[in-house]
């Protein structure tokens, strides 16, 4: 609920100031600071919710599994979030592949995106933007709280750096594993050469006898 909605709960002549309501909400938020439930402000207003670190335990109480979304859907949503307003054609240009109608339909049905306008070009394609429900779902109040593209790139680089020692180790193991095989091959080759020399020497010993 928003502060305005809370204000309208009171009769008109008894309505507190919005600042008083915000101060009261901050007091409640502080009171719940060390509890498993918190008062969180999101795009649609204030709401009580289970703390993030406990959500995985509470989710076990519900049989319904959270839906799994395809990579194509998440990429489409990310492009709209960072490049909005964006047309379907612009999304396809960025991704390099077509965007199926089912993906757009799913995002509209979830109310994560909406048609904000139509581009003034032939065909007047729809321009898509994110909604408050999108912000609420990801537990943020505005688009400014999304990680910047630079932060995402730095995260990718840090993940690559953390995986690099593991790759070097595997290469060392591979080299170590190849060494015994090389030694065995050399030994076999030496034994074979000595056997050939022995076979060639036999006729000579017979002739001597």
Kindly write down the DSSP assignment for every residue of 52-108, as one continuous string: HHHHHHHGGG--SPPPP--HHHHHHHHHHHHH-SB-HHHHHHHHSS---HHHHHHHH
Region of residue 28 (left: phi > 0; alpha: psi -120 to 50; beta: else)? alpha
Q: Which domain holds residue 15?
A: 3-61
Please check the confidence at residue 37 and state whether its pLDDT lies above 50. Answer: yes
Specify whether 82 is located in the same domain as 136.
Answer: yes
**Looking at residue 54, which CATH number applies to its domain?**
1.10.10.10
pTM (predicted TM-score): 0.55
Query: How many domains are contained in the chain?
Result: 3
CB 131 within 8 A of CB 114: yes
pLDDT of residue 87: 93
- Could you tell me if residue 117 is inside a domain? yes
Rounded mean pLDDT, 65-92? 89
Specify whether 130 is located in the same domain as 91.
Answer: yes
Percent of the chain with pLDDT over 70: 72
pLDDT of residue 81: 93
Specify whether 142 is located in the same domain as 167.
Answer: no
Q: Across the chain, what does the average pLDDT equal? A: 78
Split at pLDDT 50, 70, 90, the class of 178 is: very low
The helix/strand/coil state of 148 is: coil
The Cα 9–Cα 11 span in angstroms is 7
Q: Which residues contact 130 (CB under 8 A, 6 or more apart)?
A: 80, 81, 84, 112, 113, 114, 143
């Amino acid at each position: 609920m928003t502060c305005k909605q809370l204000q309208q709960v009171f009769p008109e002549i008894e309505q507190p100031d919005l600042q008083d309501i915000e101060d009261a909400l901050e007091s409640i938020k502080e009171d719940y600071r060390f509890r498993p439930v918190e008062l969180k402000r999101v795009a649609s207003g204030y709401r009580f919710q289970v703390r993030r670190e406990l959500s995985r335990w509470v989710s076990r109480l519900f049989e319904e599994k959270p839906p799994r979304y395809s990579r194509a859907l998440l990429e489409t949503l990310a492009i709209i979030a960072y490049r909005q307003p964006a047309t379907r054609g612009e999304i396809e240009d960025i991704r390099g592949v077509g965007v199926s109608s089912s993906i757009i339909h799913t995002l509209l049905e979830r109310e994560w995106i909406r048609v904000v306008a139509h581009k003034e070009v032939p065909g007047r394609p729809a321009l898509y933007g994110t909604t408050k429900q999108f912000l609420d779902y990801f537990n943020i109040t505005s688009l400014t709280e999304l990680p910047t593209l630079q932060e995402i790139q730095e995260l990718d680089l840090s993940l690559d750096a953390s995986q690099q020692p593991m790759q070097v180790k595997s290469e060392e193991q591979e080299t170590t594993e190849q060494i015994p095989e090389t030694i065995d091959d050399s030994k076999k080759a030496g034994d074979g050469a000595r056997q050939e020399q022995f076979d060639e020497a036999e006729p000579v010993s017979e002739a001597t006898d």
